[in-house]
Structure 1
Amino acid sequence: MNTEQAKQLSLPDLLTKLGHSPMRERKGGYELWYCSPFREEKEPSFHTSYIGGKWIWKDFGDTGGTVIDFAMRYQEQNGKPTSIKDTLAFLSDLLQPGLFSSLTTQPHPPKKPDPNIFSFQQQPHREAVENFSADRQLELIDVQPLRHFVILKYLTEERHIPADLAQRYLRLVRYWNNGKEYFAFGMENQAGGYEIRAASSKHNFKSALIARDITIIPGTAAEHSTAHLFEGMTDFLSFLILNGVQESPDDCIVMHSLSSFHRAVAHIRSQDYQTIKTYLDNDKAGQQGTDRFKAEFGAILLPQGEAFAPHHDLNDMLRAQQSGKKVSSNFRM
């Protein structure tokens, strides 16, 4: 690790690793207040802010600076060497930074249910999708409300999904992979497992923990005559945004993987839907999946791919819209 890499580290994650939790949160999580790690106090006087692409800090009874400055001050406080070389070694040993590695060592204390967070209709004894083979290298640690800065930054800035909507339907999922701790955002499925995805546009890591299955999000309307079928969780969230709502009046089914075809078919057959609208990707695999559903359900199956063409998926359409590009005006719920 060099000094530039160290300056890009998350100070809130470092503080969590050192056993400090924020007492106040402001500016949507971009400013956090703590009781000072350098002395005993009851009222927080230490705060860190995300400015100019990195975290800086200010202790009103001490000093301030970058992540490196904090690490040097912390080492000094504890009687350790404070050279740049020693500080970089301290950060490297403490954080072992790697792609999506979680810097949290202890789970957050349980919180009271948030009425604004969607509650999934979990079926604990439901079997996993038939063709899912659990990867024994992946092991669930815990699931927390989605407040992680890195994930929210990715969803809001790269996916154009507002934080409040993401927090309503998604969770922070921590897990072990080959003995190392990682984190991702995820959505609970019907089997009580979690479908997870890395917060990165460069690494398309997706998997499932405990079990792979579909997620069913009941609609708010009294009658459930229509269902919307999505390939992934970001497509579902993009669908809500494009329609200007936080909840769908109709049932929504998130497959998470095209391999969940048979489970989706089984659920649809168990309901009395009169219309099924599919929003699978505009590619070869998505078209093949759409054709399979069409063969199963005939005239009640209404593919919606043309409504967001030429975009690959709904999130691509949303990002194009948010960037000011002209998009299709035919998209409707």
Structure 2
Amino acid sequence: MNSDQAKKLSLPDLLTKLGHSPVRVRKQGNELWYCSPFRKEAEPSFHTSFIGGKWIWNDFGDQGGTVIDFVMRYENLTSIKDALAYLSDHFQPGLFSNPAPQPSFSFQQQPDREAVENFLEDRQLELIDARPITKPLILSYLAKERHIPSDLARKYLREVHYRNTATGKEYFAFGMQNQAGGYEIRVASSKYNFKSALNARDITVIPGSQAEAKTVHVFEGMTDFLSYLVLTGTDTLPEDAIIMHSLSSFPRTVAYIRSQDYQAVKTYLDNDKAGEKGTARFQTEFGSSFLPQGEFFSPTMI
């Protein structure tokens, strides 16, 4: 990330990540007022405005400037290089270059998964590495948007770095390794619903703590699985779990279930048209041993 790219980042997005919410929103979302992030105050004296294609800020008790100036003041940094490194840790490179303001800061429900899924065998995405999660952006997104605590995220997910071979640009996401040795990935953003697979698409099987379990739990996505653990107050299921990562993995999921000695199949699919269609397919395949559990998830938990 260079200085020009950094100046186009959304300061309201950064303030939200840092735990600051606007007190007043004016000019159709182009001007936002906050209690100063630099000190305690009852009346807002800090505001940021979208002018000339970028966000600028002014604090009446302090100074003003660009997103870079804000980071240097907020983190007490002395070099632009350090500020750019800080912003790279808080923003997925390339995903927040369009800073157009939004009139509402309420959570927007994501469209059906199939509409945002992006995986082709010949897609020009190259795995760089997968490592323990350290990026604040990933942990903040999972905690604030999905209510998944950091220790649980670190237990089951990885910080995946990858490259677009067509452009040479590098990115990071959170992901889970699948049975084929590839990684199913998703960006840590509620605005950019990009998900894909690196190297290969496949299901993930997570063994339960109970030996020779007779029930298998089937989840559509990795965050569904983690949300279920949060809802049930545990970090490990007694029975096996399968994460499909995509409804297109239905044949692979069925084949794996049939290869095991399960007596009950519980699915946790979305309460939307795609999820209902998937549930019906499982019902056809497994009959009386099929136990749908879709009521655990609302449409906004996908």
TM-score range, shorter chain: 0.5 to 0.7
Aligned CA distance change for structure 1 residues 149 and 141 (closer, same or farther; 3 Å): same
**One-letter amino acid of the structure 1 residue matched with residue 121 of structure 2:** A
Sequence identity percentage: 56
List runs of 5+ in structure 2 lacking aligned partners.
Answer: 20-35, 39-68, 95-118
Aligned CA distance change for structure 1 residues 279 and 91 (closer, same or farther; 3 Å): same
Q: CA deviation at 1:200?
A: 0.5
Structure 2: how far apart are the matches of 1:166 and 1:242?
14
Determine if contact 1:71/1:91 at 8 Å carries over to the other structure. no
Per the alignment, residue 308 of structure 1 pairs with 296
- CA-atom RMSD in angstroms: 3.4
Structure 1: how far apart are the matches of 2:210 and 2:86?
51
Residue by residue over 1:33-55, the C-alpha shift from the partner in whole angstroms, topping out at 9 and shown as x without a partner, is xxxxxxxxxxxxxxxxxx959xx
How many residues were matched structurally? 221
Q: Secondary structure, in 3 states, of the residue corresponding to 1:277?
A: strand
Per the alignment, residue 92 of structure 2 pairs with 100
Structure 2: how far apart are the matches of 1:95 and 1:293?
45
Per the alignment, residue 127 of structure 2 pairs with 140
Per the alignment, residue 228 of structure 1 pairs with 217
Aligned CA distance change for structure 1 residues 260 and 91 (closer, same or farther; 3 Å): same
Per the alignment, residue 247 of structure 2 pairs with 258
Say whether residues 1:166 and 2:162 are aligned partners.
no
Structure 1: how far apart are the matches of 2:134 and 2:272?
33
Q: CA deviation at 1:259?
A: 0.4
Q: Decide which of 179, 182, 190 is 2:179's aligned counterpart.
A: 190
Q: CA deviation at 1:304?
A: 1.1
**One-letter amino acid of the structure 1 residue matched with residue 296 of structure 2:** F
**One-letter amino acid of the structure 2 residue matched with residue 143 of structure 1:** A
**One-letter amino acid of the structure 1 residue matched with residue 128 of structure 2:** I
Aligned CA distance change for structure 1 residues 52 and 271 (closer, same or farther; 3 Å): farther
Determine if contact 1:230/1:278 at 8 Å carries over to the other structure. yes
What are the within-5 Å matches in structure 2 for residues 53-202 of structure 1? 67-68=71-72, 73-74=78-79, 100-101=92-93, 133-177=120-164, 178-202=167-191
Determine if contact 1:6/1:67 at 8 Å carries over to the other structure. no
**One-letter amino acid of the structure 2 residue matched with residue 285 of structure 1:** A
Q: Secondary structure, in 3 states, of the residue corresponding to 1:73?
A: coil
Structure 1: how far apart are the matches of 2:129 and 2:154?
16
Q: CA deviation at 1:97?
A: 9.9
Q: Secondary structure, in 3 states, of the residue corresponding to 1:223?
A: coil
Structure 2: how far apart are the matches of 1:93 and 1:245?
36
Structure 1: how far apart are the matches of 2:13 and 2:271?
37
Per the alignment, residue 232 of structure 2 pairs with 243
Structure 2: how far apart are the matches of 1:263 and 1:237?
21
Say whether residues 1:276 and 2:280 are aligned partners.
no
Structure 2: how far apart are the matches of 1:5 and 1:149?
17
Determine if contact 2:77/2:83 at 8 Å carries over to the other structure. no
Q: TM-score, normalised by structure 1?
A: 0.59
**One-letter amino acid of the structure 1 residue matched with residue 224 of structure 2:** D
Q: Secondary structure, in 3 states, of the residue corresponding to 1:281?
A: coil
Aligned CA distance change for structure 1 residues 293 and 97 (closer, same or farther; 3 Å): same
Q: TM-score, normalised by structure 2?
A: 0.65
Q: CA deviation at 1:133?
A: 3.3
Aligned CA distance change for structure 1 residues 6 and 93 (closer, same or farther; 3 Å): farther
Structure 2: how far apart are the matches of 1:203 and 1:248?
31
Per the alignment, residue 100 of structure 2 pairs with none
Aligned CA distance change for structure 1 residues 173 and 4 (closer, same or farther; 3 Å): closer
Structure 1: how far apart are the matches of 2:85 and 2:133?
27
**One-letter amino acid of the structure 1 residue matched with residue 278 of structure 2:** G
Aligned CA distance change for structure 1 residues 9 and 263 (closer, same or farther; 3 Å): same
Structure 2: how far apart are the matches of 1:257 and 1:292?
14
**One-letter amino acid of the structure 1 residue matched with residue 152 of structure 2:** L
Aligned CA distance change for structure 1 residues 312 and 236 (closer, same or farther; 3 Å): same
Say whether residues 1:295 and 2:284 are aligned partners.
yes
